[in-house]
Structures are given as structure tokens and as C-alpha cells.
Amino acid sequence: MNPLLNLLEHGQSYWLDNLTRPMIESGELRRRVEQEGLRGVTSNPSTFQKAIAESAAYRESIAQRVAESTADIDPARIGEALMVADIQAACEVLRPVHEQSEGWDGYVSLEVSPHLAYHAEASVEEARRLWHAVDRPNVMIKIPGTIPGLAAIEQLLFEGINVNITLLFSVPRYEAVAEAYLRALERRAQEGRPLAPIASVASFFLSRIDVLVDELLANRFLPGPGGDSEPRRLLGKAAIANAKLAYQSFKRIIASQRFKALEAKGAKAQRLLWASTGTKNPEYRDVMYVEPLIGPYTVNTMPEATIRAFAEHGTVEDTLEQDLEEARWVMDRLAALGIDFDQVAAQLESEGVRKFIQPYDHLLEFLADQCRRLRQQRDLEPLKALSRKLRRQIIAMTTEAGSGHPTSSLSAADIVAALLFRVMRWDPRDPKARNVDSFILSKGHAAPILWAALHEAGAMDEDPLSLRRLGSPYEGHPTPTCPWIKVATGSLGQGLAAANGLALANRLDGIPAKVYCLLGDGECSEGAVWEAAQFASLNRLSGLVAIVDVNGLEQSEPAPYRHDTGVLARRFAAFGWKTFEVDGHDLTALLEAFHQAGQDGPAAVLARTVKGKGVSFLEGAPGWHGRALNREEAERALAELGDATVRLAVPPQRVGPYQPQTPPPPPVLEADYALGAQVATRQAFGKALAQLGRTMPQLVVLDGDVKNSTYTEWFAKAFPERFFQGYIAEQNLAGVALGLAVSGKLPVVATFAAFLSRAYDFIRMAGHSHPPGLVFCGSHAGVSIGEDGPSQMGLEDIALFRALLASTVLYPCDGVSALRLTEAALTTPGIVYLRTTRAATPVIYGPNERFPVGGSKLLRTSARDRFTVVAAGVTVHEALAAHQRLAAQGVAIRVVDAYSVRPLDQDTLMRAARETAALVVVEDHFAAGGLGDAVARAVSGTVPVHQLAVTRQPRSGTPGELLELEGISRQAIERTILALSAEPDPG
């Protein structure tokens, strides 16, 4: 006879620890109930996850719910609906058992979310909902027997909800659960509610105990024969011993007068249920958690393998109260060996919750993925029609404008449609929102596709046919004239670096958003792209997704690798990016790639496209780059594209909560430098950053592998999370800084002044982006750096920054002014350039001196001044020394520290022009575009301006030798002034 059928004669029911829809639909579950004595079923997140993920039986139900959904699809609700349906069906199969046993058996268990294991109120709320959703008298709601769970268990039982208490590992915790059961029944009795319908089991876990205890015992084995006999004797015995002692507690409880009084009113005993009865150690018997634990008022819930094994060779007899003394001895010896069973139980409970959370979350991830795929298929045709509609708009816009890049836009239409209308989480009503996904069009000449998409999404009201007209937000290349554009693009190769900055800002603000950057294959010849790729990988920018529109054609000829996406994929992969090579016109492939991209490190989607896609005479045809169709050609193109009246709404979305912070103004720094002390301005700059970092949480510093020279290492040490090493890649540094700046951060880029020239196109484009605040610090400027030679000398930097439409240029000469001007730079809007010097110079200003932007300092002045020397930075000290030398010769000069090169202190300069015979400007910079040109322009020919600047080929040498070689030393100033003094007065 099947041993399973004999268990009931000994007071034990066996339940199945598994439930699947195929098991129900095939009749297997009914057969087991009717022929093999099965009297109940338990489920858990692990069993459902395996069933739903591995069986096709659930696919139709999932598809139906997706098809019926008109709003966002909640995977948790779909998963719950699938589980509830299975539980209901299983309850119907087991209902005869439930009725015949008068409510003792025939139960099917359904567990609340394991995430609620330590939240009583939330567990009660979810259990009520599941109870009513299943709506069957023979369902049990599973609640973990944690300390917070005890209150939930009592409340649910009091309300008449059957409860299976799970994850019990110790006798004391079982007794606490039994107490909760008794209190619930007593409360019901006091209110006159019936007790007979209430059923509950306390699930005592077994094999997991032995796995952990055996591991602890193995740590206590001694080397040599016979030295470890006791720990070995205890292997595999803890779980059975613990269960037998729990059963003794159960017997005491049901024998108590307290329970007898409840039983007289119809109450059932809360049976012990043996769970986790599958043998995990292959050296142990496969029925070791069944045979020793057979007795009245118990349930053994077995996995299928254990059921088969017991049916084949199991032995049935009353064993539960055998060997009780051995059970007590086992528990005593474990304690003697230092194994604290309370700690064992606590660890197993924590691990048990985690082991249920993992499959539960995996199930939700699986369902989310299934829903996403089904929704994509459902929405595919409308999305295709939208792409066609955008292509029609591109043709209309560029033809009306008579210029533009229609073919480059047509190749990207499917990519942009997929991103803006299906993938990105953004709000078409709010261009300033931070907690949204972002898009940067690095291939800026394809602006028409972006303008068409923004207008179609309802983000822009202006007529797209105003493309390229004066006053239209739809410019030829993206600029912030359109409120949706964060950074100006169009100078190719720059978008990815800016996207890095956006992604960094998201990380700093805790915003789990993604940043999408669309590049062209042609611009991937730019080295700046690979500087950005390296930076993104080194900083693990998981939210960053680069999409390369590989249309194979550049302006004048085919792209270097035509449609071979593998070349670019290998390059990105070499930098540590995940790569996806797809057909850029296959919307299903695009959507799948976008879903997988950017989840663990940066990702690149290499999309093979056709330039001019959708119009036969444009597809892959050379000679159409930057050329609009005439009216006749446009009509032909629109006819081929066909009508498209679809309208896809973009629901406003946010990515998590975000509350912008407005930090208070930073306090004035203490300038604790003694007069005459030798301090390098680069050192004072580093000190100021480190101090300001404490009160300016928005301050971010980027270094070009010179942090020990610029002293930004002090900031890095104090605020490592806001310091980013960009290495020797100045283009990327500038682009990242711009991305940070337009995202609410205050970035400071520090490197040698000479090397900023590499990044000048990025700086130029940053000017067109109008960042709220962006600071560049160029150190080691001028020939005064000495022996390193001309390659290291920044001699063009002032001219470069002065050439921007709007910029501020500051040039301190000592430690105090460097500290104060660093403060000023960080509170001045727009792009600010701070020029610092390598050598230490004497402190000439007191600690309370202030340096407003647009000001200057009159260091030496008298009524007898014949000439004015205007200097900045290192030449201020040369001018002061020349003043002293000339004074000894009876020649008085005025000395101006023009620390604010732009804007200049024009009032002071004009007064000097009126009161002295000439201005002599001394600067450690090339003559063109520097301080001399600025001063000459400021005084506008009202007085002669003589420029002493670097005009000879610089060489290696000492700072003093080089200043003299270039004619900007104190001696050169002295000679110039004496020569001017010797000239006859023109009046």
C-alpha cells in the first residue's frame, strides 16, 4: 500500500509544497487528491516564480491583461492575479477534502509579499486583500513568524482569516505564535464570534536548520582520529531534535485548561506543519524529515521529490514522541559546543525572508519584461506610423526653410520616435524638470527630427515650418533658444562629454534617470568621443546610453567604415561599454536594445540606418547632405511616405522624487596669509576650493591629472564624491563640466593653462549654451613657469576666454587675491576663467581686502605720477619692483593691479589716462588678445598704450631669465619708463 495513504491513520496529513497551472489544468492535482491522499497545498514566491517563468501556461493570461490595460501596467498586480487564479482553482479541487474533514484539511496557502515580513500593518492590509480576492473558505494566508508578524497573525485570525505561519525555526518563537493564536481565539470568543471556522498551522522549518548547524559543527572538528567524535555524532540531528521538542510544547498547549475552554466552543488546534522537508545533503536519507516526525495533529508539506521517495520506500509509524531524551541531549550538546540556537534561528529567519524576496523580485522582473514586450508589440504599428509622420514633417520643414539636413534627420527618425514616445521618462510640459530622462542630439545637424518630435509630443507650440527663421526656437543646430536644449551642439563630437556631465549630476542628486545621446557615425572620428567613452566607463555611468546613427554617409563621401557597426562596437567595448548592434529601422530591436542598455555601466547602441530613409531617391544617395528638397521633390517624397494621422500621447513622467536645494551664500573665507609670505596663487586656489566645499554642496571639481600641481587634491581628499579625475583629456573635461553646470552643479575645471587650448572648441560651444556657472582655472601660465619650456606655457589663454561673447577673466597676483577671486569666480554667473601662476609670490594684500569683479587695485599712486603701469598676476610684482627702482631715480609711476581682466575697471584706467602721460601694460602672455589689447580698447585712444608682452619665441630658462628675455621684467619696465621719460613732451 502507498505509505502516503497510511499517514492519515497516524494523525498526519501530507500537503504538496508546489503549485502550477499545468498541474491544475492537466488533472494531476485532482488525481493526487483523489488517489494519493493529498490533503493540502502550500505555495511560496519561489514556487510561483519558477512556475510562471518556466511554463507557457501563463502567457495567454498575461497577454490578455496587457491587451486590456489602458494605463501603466503594474507587474505586481498581474502576478497577484495569476497567483490568485491558481489558488482559487486549487481550492476548488481541494474543497471536498475541506468539507469532509470539517475544516481540518483541504487548504491552499498563499503568501503575502516577503517584503512585508517586518511590517505588521502592511501585512494585515495585504492579507485582507488577498483573502477577499481568493474568496474561498479553504485558503490560508501565509505570514512569516517574525516578531512584527506576531501582531499581524493575531489580528488576522481574530478577523476570521485562516493563517499559515511560516519561517519558524525555534521552540520559543513557535510558542509565541501559539500564544498569538490563543489570544485571537479568546478575543473572538469574547465578542461572540464563532471559533470553528478558524484554521491555522505553524510551519516549522527543518532541512535549513541542519544545513547551517552542520556547517557550525564542521568548524569544530579536531584533527586526528577520535578527536571530533561528538560534533560528528550531532551532524544532521538538530532539525529533528528541535521539531520533537516543539511538538512537546504543542502537546502542553492543547492540554492546557486555556485551550480546552476554547476547544469546548469549537476551536481547532493550531497544528504543527513540518516544512523544508526536502533533504539537501545527498549523504542523508531522502525521507529523513518525514519518517521521524509522524504523529497526531501534524502536517508534512513535501516537495515532489520527497513525495515520490516516501511513496517508494517510506515507513509509517508513530515516531514523533520517540527518542525524546536524545532530542534533549542533542540540543544540550549543541549549546555545550558553543552553538547558540537562538542565533541560529535568527540567522535562518533573516536568510529565509531574503530567499523569498529574491524569487519574488525575479518574478516581478520577469512579468515586467513580459508586459513590456507585449505592450511593444501592441503599440508597434502606431509607432511605425509616427515615424512616418515625423519624416513627413522633416521634409516639409527643410523644404520650407530652403536649407537644412533632411537626409541625416530621416535616418534617425525611428531612433528618436522610439526614445521620445516609448522609452524616455519625461514631461512634455516641463523643460526644466531634473528628475527625468534626458536627450542630447550630438549630431546637431539632424535638428529637424528633434524639432518635429518635440512639436509632435506637445512640448513645443511654435510652427515647425519656422525652421531656421530669425526669432524661431527651431534653429539650424540645437541651442538653448529652444527651452528643451540643455547644451548647444552641432560642432561634432561634443555631445557625449556633456552627457557624461548630466549623468554625473544625476548620480550626485540621487536621480535614477537615464541620459541618451545620439551621435552620428561620422563624428566618431573625433577623438573627443573616445575621451568621453573612457570617462564614462571609468566612472561607471550606468544611466548613460550612446546611440550611434550608422547611416554610412558623411558630407562628402562614405563614412570610414560605412555600415560596419562592428568596428564602433569593438571600440566602445574596449573602453568597457556594453554594446548592442541593431537595425536602426527595426523598432522592436531598438526598443529591446534601449531596455537592456544602461543598466550596469554605460551602453552603446550601434544602429545601422539608411541616410534618407523612407524616400527612395534619397536612400543611401550621395550628394544630399545639407541639401533641402525643392517643392517638386518634396511632393514626390511626401507621396512616397504616405499619409500619417496617428497621434501618440506622451504621458508626463518623473524618475523618482527630487527636491532642489538652494544652498545659502558661502561665508567669507579667512585669508590667513601674512604680508610678505611666499604663496603660489595655485596653492591659494586649492585651499579656497577645499574650504568652500564645506558650504557649497553644488561645488564639483574636475582635474586633468594635475591635482598635485593645482592643489585640487585638497578638495579631492575632503570631498571625494564631488571630485572627478578626467586624466589627460581636456575636451572631455570641458564637456563634462558643461553638462554638470546645466544640471544645477557648480563645476570647476583645473589644469595647466596651456592645455585648455585643446578644449577651446568645447569652451566656445559652452558659451553658446549659457551655463549658469562654469569655472576654468588655468595654472602654470606664462613664461614665468621657467625651465619646462614653451609647450607648457599658457600664453594664449586670456585671448581665448576674452574672445567669448560673455565671459569673466580673473588674474590674481598673490595668495589673498587668489583666495578672494576664487570666491568671486564661484559666485559669478556664466563662464569664468581664473589664471594662476606656478611660482610663489609675496603676499601684498591684507586679509580683509576685497576684490569685486570689474575692479582693480591702485597699488602705487601720487600726484607726481608721470606714467601708469598696468599689470596682472606675476607682472604686478615686477611693476612694484620697477616702481621702487624708478622712485630712486626721481621718476614717479602709478601701478594698477588689473586683477579683473574682463570686465576691466574702465573708470580707473580712464582716470589714469587723464592724469598720466601714457599707460604701459605688462603681461606674461602673447601680445595679441591679452591684457594690453583689453586696456587699449578700454581707453579708446585717449592716451598712448605701450604693451610689454611675450613677443619672442619662449625658451627653457629660469623665470627671471625668461621675463627679461621677453621684455616683461622689472628691468624692462624700468627701461621703458625711462625711455618714455626721455621723449619730448608732445604738447
Contact 671, 697 (CB under 8 A): no
User: Using an 8 Å Cβ cutoff, are 655 and 513 in contact?
Assistant: yes
> CB–CB of 960/936 below 8 Å?
no
Query: Roughly how many angstroms between the first and final C-alpha of the chain, as a whole number?
Result: 133
Please report, for residues 43, 85, 371, 508, the alpha-carbon distance to residue 62 in angstroms, rounded to integers and kept in the order given: 20, 12, 7, 38
The DSSP call for residue 664 is P
Number of residues written out for the chain: 987
Annotate 75-108 with DSSP letters as a single string: HHHHHHHHHHHHHHHHHHHHHHHHHHTTTSS-EE
If 0-12 CB within 10 Å is exposed, 13-18 middle and 19+ buried, where does residue 570 land?
A: exposed
Tell which phi-psi region holds residue 943, choosing left (phi > 0), alpha (psi between -120 and 50) or beta.
beta
Q: How many other C-beta atoms can be found within 10 angstroms of the C-beta atom of residue 917?
A: 17
Give the C-alpha separation, 649 to 860, whole Å. Answer: 69
Give the number of other CB atoms < 10 A from CB of residue 609.
27
Spatial distance between the Cα atoms of 67 and 46, rounded to a whole number of angstroms: 27
For CA atoms 718, 719, 720, 723, give the dihedral sign: negative
Segment (H or E) for 157? helix 147-158
The three grid cell numbers given for residue 524, joined into one nine-digit string:
566618431
Between CA 257 and CA 200 the distance in angstroms is 20
> Residue 153: CB partners within 8 Å, gap ≥ 6?
143, 145, 163, 165, 177, 180, 181, 184
Q: For 729-773, where are the alpha helices, taking DSSP H only?
A: 730-741, 760-769
The grid coordinates listed for 268 are: 481547532
Which residue matches cell numbers 486549487?
90
**Pairing relation of β-strands 12-16 and 298-302?**
parallel
C-alpha distances in Å from residue 282, one per residue of 240, 279, 285, 453, 908: 17, 7, 8, 62, 92
81 CB burial (10 A radius; 0-12, 13-18, 19+): middle
Phi, psi of 960 (to 5 degrees): -65, -40
Active-site amino acid positions: 142
DSSP code of residue 953:
-
Cα–Cα distance for residue pair 280/283, rounded to 1 Å: 9
Question: Distance between CA 30 and CA 891 in Å, rounded?
Answer: 115
Burial class (CB in 10 A: 0-12, 13-18, 19+), 2: middle
| CA gap 84, 703 in Å, rounded | 57
DSSP string, 410-450: HHTHHHHHHIIIII----TT-TT-SSS-EEEESSGGGHHHH
CA gap 289, 309 in Å, rounded? 12
Q: Which helix (H) or strand (E) holds 21?
A: helix 21-25
Measured between alpha carbons, how far is 590 from 584 in angstroms, rounded to an integer?
Answer: 7
**C-alpha count within 13 angstroms, C-beta hemisphere, residue 247:** 25
